[in-house]
């Protein structure tokens, strides 16, 4: 799958979709940034909240932070809400 980045001006957020896998859980990786993971702990997407306030946003850096979070992270995941 090709990486897709979408911007939602109404919610002032942006999302980088990395995979078509189902989201199992979400972890905060930075202030205003949430990473979605599949059941195996692989990053499937990254959401940036208050997108317009970010200067020099580096998606690659955020992706690296998201991948580090699953390596022995003691943080409890945020459960994905069912629709």
| Residue range 7-58, pLDDT digits in tens | 999 999 999 999 999 999 999 999 899 999 998 899 999 999 988 888 888 8
Q: What is the pLDDT of residue 59?
A: 87
**pTM, rounded to two decimals:** 0.79
Q: What is the pLDDT of residue 51?
A: 87
- Each as own residue / partner, the long-range contacts of residues 33-42 (CB below 8 Å, 24 or more positions apart, any chain) are 33/62, 33/65, 34/78, 35/62, 35/65, 35/66, 35/69, 36/80, 37/66, 37/70, 37/77, 41/70, 42/70
Q: Hey, where are the domains in the chain?
A: 4-79
pLDDT value at 72 more than 60 = no
């Amino acid at each position: 799958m090709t990486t897709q980045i979408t911007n939602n001006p109404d919610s002032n957020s942006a999302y980088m979709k990395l995979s078509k896998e189902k989201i199992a859980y979400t972890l905060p990786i930075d202030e205003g940034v949430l990473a979605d993971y599949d059941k195996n702990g692989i990053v499937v997407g990254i959401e940036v909240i208050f997108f317009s306030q970010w200067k020099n946003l580096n998606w690659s850096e955020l992706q690296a932070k998201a991948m580090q979070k699953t390596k022995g992270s003691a943080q409890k995941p945020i459960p994905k809400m069912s629709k």
